Amino acid sequence: MYGVAKAHTENFNYVFFGIGSSLVVPGLIALYLEFNKAKRTETSGRANLAHFKTNSIRIPVDLSQCTVTANTWTQVREEKTNKEILFNELIGDSFENRETDNIAVSLVKYTTTVQGQRRTFTSAPVAKDKTTLLMLLEMQKETNIYIDRDGKYYYFDLEFLEK
């Protein structure tokens, strides 16, 4: 009886392994394809930006002529892992000793005349405070704005801030 049960168990393990691996392999293939899709999208985004830059009107920008507007705020973290914070909540002072983050978001604006009309160009939000951003703009001195031929879309080139 022992020999028969052992033989049956061995066959069951092979079947179980076969079923399990047949379920895992498609998942691994899907992960591989998704990773490559994200990689292609990122590469495609850079290629599209490069194409936009080469086929657009380039406007040189003197960064000392730009204005910077900034918003800053302090955000209280919602984490409740610290024992002291939990104790403070019990006694009714829930914000005492809670960790905070200082957040700053700035915009760079540049006004100029393009194709006979006065336009103001605004950058994408930059995650830097106003003082730091002004200093970085002063160090860079100049950049470009790229406008499509229709004048509808533009790209304010602040890639130097990412370095």
Residues 108-148: pLDDT tens digits?
999 999 888 899 999 999 999 999 999 999 999 999 999 99
Distance, in Å, from the CA atom of 84 to the CA atom of 113, rounded to the nearest integer, reads: 58
CB 160 within 8 A of CB 126: no
Task: Identify the three-state secondary structure at position 94.
Answer: coil
The pLDDT-based confidence of 7 (bands split at 50, 70, 90) is very low
pTM for the predicted model, two decimal places = 0.61
